[in-house]
Amino acid sequence: MIEVIKLNKNYGDLKVLQDISFTVEKGEKIAIIGPSGSGKSTLLRCLNFMEEASSGSIIFEGINLTEQKAKLDLHRQKMGMVFQQFNLFNNKTVLENIMMAPLHIRLSKLRKTRWQNFFIKTGNFFRKNKKSLIELDTDAASIKEEVRGQALKLLQKIGLEDKKDVYPSTLSGGQKQRIAIIRSLAMNPKVILFDEPTSSLDPEMVGEVLDLIRSLADEGMTMLIVTHEMGFAKEVASRVLFMDEGRIAEDSSPEQIFSNPQNPRTREFLSKVKAM
């Protein structure tokens, strides 16, 4: 589904990513671990073009994204991202947060079709062979109803439907992150990128967020998770990437990495994490 080929990223002289190559198959759950500053966040951010890679290619569903920059927004709609700091929209209610992107995108599609029809109609005025209009199977009100229904269903799934009309500032960290996760689910993405989704949570809220991610994994969602929760990585991941100084130092199954790491750097890192 995703193929990363020789990806490099520099900030000035600093080489943050060096010759990163790997593939992601549909349904894989990949945990990315490694010391601070090893480039894990940068890798995720390059995948959805929040950062522009210095060289290399990213192929997503057969399309080379490094060539087709114009359609980045379309690509991002299919690739969800969940941030360490949640980043819920502060000026929108919970329900508005979830509805915003799907609603905006579907409404602008509708508007675009209406304009196209308008031009066809204007053209037909002069044409002998009338062109037929693009069929509209829906209108703005029913799109809104549908998106709202889907958003409410997602909220029910995480048991927070009673929070639909509150603003994010009134929620706990765990609630915010769970809402951020279903906000990206509302776009029906093909893959979700998680960047340390539990790192800024109080310990008692880590569980509820991990439970939600686990249930998505069980439903077959493809995901890449940068995490420091080794237990979680071991349990949920189908594959683990260990990153060190901008390179993928080890790429194998969780059993292999956690019980029998091949790379000395991996061993060193894991023993430090265990000691904590």
Partner 1 sequence: MDNFSIKFEKFWQAFYTHNGYARVVVGLKNTMLIAIFGLIIGIVIGTAIAGTLVHPAKSRLSRFLKAFCNFYVGLFRGSPIVVQLLVTYYVVLPILQINMSSLKVCILVFGLNSGAYVSEIMRGGILSVDPGQMEAGRALGLGYGVSMGKIVVPQAVKNILPTIGNEFISLIKETSVVSFVGAIDLYVAFNYIGTNNYEYMVPYLFMALIYIVLVLIISSLVKAMERSLGKSDRSHQA
Of partner 1, ligand ATP, Mg ion, none, which one sits near residue 11, judging by CB under 5 to 8 A according to partner kind? ligand ATP
Question: Does 170 help bind partner 1 (rule: CB under 8 A)?
Answer: yes
The Cα angle at residue 104 between residues 98 and 108, in degrees rounded to 5: 160
- Lay out the sheet containing 2-11: strands in order across: 14-24, 2-11, 55-60, 63-64
Q: For residues 64-93, which are near partner 1 according to CB under 8 A?
A: 73-78, 80-81, 83, 85, 87-92
Instruction: Choose between 36 and 91: whose C-beta lies nearer to ligand ATP.
Output: 36
Helices vs strands, H then E, count in the chain = 9, 10
Q: Which of 70, 165, 203, 274 binds partner 1 (CB under 8 A)?
A: 165
Taking every pair of Cα atoms in the chain, the longest distance, rounded to a whole number of angstroms, is 80
Query: Residue 245 and residue 131: Cα distance in Å, rounded?
Result: 59
Q: For residues 27-86, which are near Mg ion according to CB under 5 A?
A: 41
Instruction: Choose between 192 and 241: whose C-beta lies nearer to partner 1.
Output: 192
Question: Which letter does DSSP use for residue 40 in this model?
Answer: H
Question: Does 20 help bind ligand ATP (rule: CB under 6 A)?
Answer: no
Instruction: Choose between 14 and 276: whose C-beta lies nearer to ligand ATP.
Output: 14
Please answer whether residues 211 and 18 qualify as being in contact, where contact means their C-beta atoms are separated by less than 8 angstroms: no
- Shortest distance in whole angstroms from residue 41 CB to Mg ion: 3
Question: Does 101 help bind partner 1 (rule: CB under 8 A)?
Answer: yes
Instruction: Choose between 41 and 177: whose C-beta lies nearer to Mg ion.
Output: 41
Residue 172, classed as helix, strand or coil, is coil
Instruction: Choose between 83 and 232: whose C-beta lies nearer to partner 1.
Output: 83
Of partner 1, Mg ion, ligand ATP, none, which one sits near residue 81, judging by CB under 5 to 8 A according to partner kind? partner 1
The pairing of beta strand 247-252 with beta strand 2-11:
unpaired
Query: Nearest Cα to 61, choosing from 2, 13, 113, 138?
Result: 2
Question: Does 254 help bind ligand ATP (rule: CB under 6 A)?
Answer: no
Question: Does 184 help bind ligand ATP (rule: CB under 6 A)?
Answer: no
Please answer whether residues 267 and 275 qualify as being in contact, where contact means their C-beta atoms are separated by less than 8 angstroms: no
Instruction: Choose between 223 and 249: whose C-beta lies nearer to partner 1.
Output: 223
Q: List residues near ligand ATP by CB under 6 A.
A: 11, 14, 16, 34, 36-42
